[in-house]
Structure 1
Amino acid sequence: MSTISTAQLKAIAKERALDRYGTLIFANILIFIIQVLISGITTVASYGNILIFIINQFINLIVSILLGILASGKAYLYMNLVYSQTISASDIFFGLKQQPQKAVVIQSVFVIANYLVTLPSSLILFYADQTSSIDLYLTNIIILIAGIVINIFIYLMYSQAFFLLHDFPDRSALELLKTSRRLMQGRKGKLFLLQLSFVPLYIFGIITLFVPLLWISVYRYASVAVFYQNLISEAANVSSSKEEQNGLN
């Protein structure tokens, strides 16, 4: 079990990001612009037709999976940050060179899981809008909350896969996912609390005209990257300790 506190993780992230916020914020803005442009180009206008709704859902599913390449690049950027390497906004495109097919497979786990748990809610909301049924709206809220809980659990379980991809590029996507699941055993709560600790900052960012959100987003993801660095370091120490014990026996 990790002995480093949430406050310590955030302090390390803040120290590593010092004097680099400009590059990191610019990289985040680039990712956001790319995502918006791609989503805008690929989305089919909806006119209340169920067929158009299904087409939109399918296109969004494919696009979201392909955006895993950007998620991989973002992980690479922040790993360079926490490992005190030179960083550049162009690092977000590293996923195009570093096993993009594995990034797509990893991303597909998150996207398909999210699609499956939110599809019932989306369908109910679609019909609720058509019928203006209060009962359907209430049912949708319950199903939506259940979907959020499931999504959080899946995210926590496989949250380290993109980082692992860059540390262990020779492993298959399935091996990386399994490794993340193993590493996160007993540590999901810690990562959840780390993410939860940023909620007050996000609320502050919203009520101050959203500008601080650029800094908060960098700070949060840097903290997650430090969490990974600490996690993989502890795993290596445990492995070395076991090898030493085996050598003595």
Structure 2
Amino acid sequence: MNRYELKMRAKEALHGKWIIAVAVTIIALILNNIHLSTGTSIFRFSSGWMTNLRVLSPLSSASSSISSLINFILSGPVALGIAFFYLNLLREDEARVESLFHGFKRFLDALISHILITIFTFLWFLLLIVPGIIAGLSYSMTYYILIDHPELSPIEAIRLSKELMNGHKGELFILWLSFIGWFFLGIITFGIGLLYAIPYFNTTLAEFYLNIKGE
């Protein structure tokens, strides 16, 4: 199945389910962008406008670090939940917001997978950009595999992803590039366009997985 066909099937799968897909996208973005706030906020009125002056406390930098850690920890379960949602959408023609939280039922597997993928990809990026990109492509099917094979450990799922992506990394890279325009449009529309681009992108990726898997 070529790139055009994958995208067409993704659009067909999303037909009538865009609202739910957008809701899942918004929730996932919120979960991946948690910010803790410290310090004292002082409010004053000036010429009819309210100005928020933040008095930074010594805990501000610690708060930022904690926020980053929380976001990192949640990234794995959220990614697994996204994979579960879109595979269900394609296989069962079923779209439910609660599917996003499936990743939290397997929190440890999702977290370990995210940690390992991050470490492995980072180590390859230390060599050169290209090996890092290739590594990212190789590990890209890990969460889908964890959904289909819950008996596998994270490292086994990563290994199977590498095997599955043999001969398909170039295809996926070109598929990624084909969405650059959509994401650019999303950015210049102050994020509104991303509510279309992200579900479209994620559905196409799930379709790509099913295609190379022979399903």
Please give the range of the TM-score, normalised by the shorter of the 2 chains: 0.7 to 0.9
Q: Is 2:66 aligned against 1:69?
A: no
What corresponds to 1:212 in structure 2? Answer: 193
Check the 8 A contact 1:16/1:82 in 2, yes or no. yes
Matches within 5 A, 1:70-149: 70-97=78-105, 99-113=106-120, 146-147=128-129, 149=130
Which structure 1 segments of 5+ residues have no match? Answer: 47-51, 121-142, 235-249
Q: Is 2:25 aligned against 1:28?
A: yes
Q: Distance in 1 between matches of 2:102 and 2:211?
A: 23
Aligned length: 195
Q: Which has the higher helix share?
A: 1
Residues 214-223 or 77-86, more deviating: 77-86
Q: Give the Å deviation of 1:61.
A: 5.1
Deviation beyond 6 Å, 4+ runs, structure 1: none
Q: Distance in 1 between matches of 2:191 and 2:164?
A: 35
TM norm structure 2: 0.80
Q: Distance in 2 between matches of 1:161 and 1:152?
A: 15
Question: What RMSD, in angstroms, separates the aligned Cα atoms of the two structures?
Answer: 2.8
What corresponds to 1:123 in structure 2? Answer: none
Q: Which has the higher strand share?
A: 2
Q: Give the Å deviation of 1:42.
A: 8.6
After superposition, what is the alpha-carbon deviation per residue over 1:169-206, rounded to whole angstroms, capped at 9, x for unaligned? 11121111111000001110101101100111222233
What corresponds to 2:14 in structure 1? Answer: 17
Q: Give the Å deviation of 1:222.
A: 0.4
Amino acid aligned to 2:187: I
Check the 8 A contact 1:82/1:226 in 2, yes or no. yes
Amino acid aligned to 2:118: V
Check the 8 A contact 1:61/1:112 in 2, yes or no. no
Amino acid aligned to 1:67: S
TM norm structure 1: 0.70
Amino acid aligned to 1:41: L
Check the 8 A contact 1:82/1:229 in 2, yes or no. no
Q: Distance in 2 between matches of 1:170 and 1:42?
A: 40
What corresponds to 2:53 in structure 1? Answer: none
After superposition, what is the alpha-carbon deviation per residue over 1:59-87, rounded to whole angstroms, capped at 9, x for unaligned? 73564144201111110000001113322
Check the 8 A contact 1:9/1:227 in 2, yes or no. yes
Matches within 5 A, 1:214-233: 214-233=195-214
Q: Distance in 1 between matches of 2:122 and 2:138?
A: 17
Q: Pick 1 or 2: higher relative contact order, CA cutoff 8 A, min separation 6.
A: 1
What corresponds to 2:55 in structure 1? Answer: none
Which structure 2 segments of 5+ residues have no match? Answer: 39-58
Q: Give the Å deviation of 1:113.
A: 4.1
What corresponds to 1:170 in structure 2? Answer: 151
Change (3 A) 1:210 1:192: same
The residue matched to 2:167 in structure 1 has which SS?
A: coil
Q: Give the Å deviation of 1:12.
A: 0.7
Check the 8 A contact 1:76/1:94 in 2, yes or no. yes
Change (3 A) 1:66 1:116: farther
Matches within 5 A, 1:51-66: 56=65, 60=68, 63-66=71-74
What corresponds to 1:41 in structure 2? Answer: 36
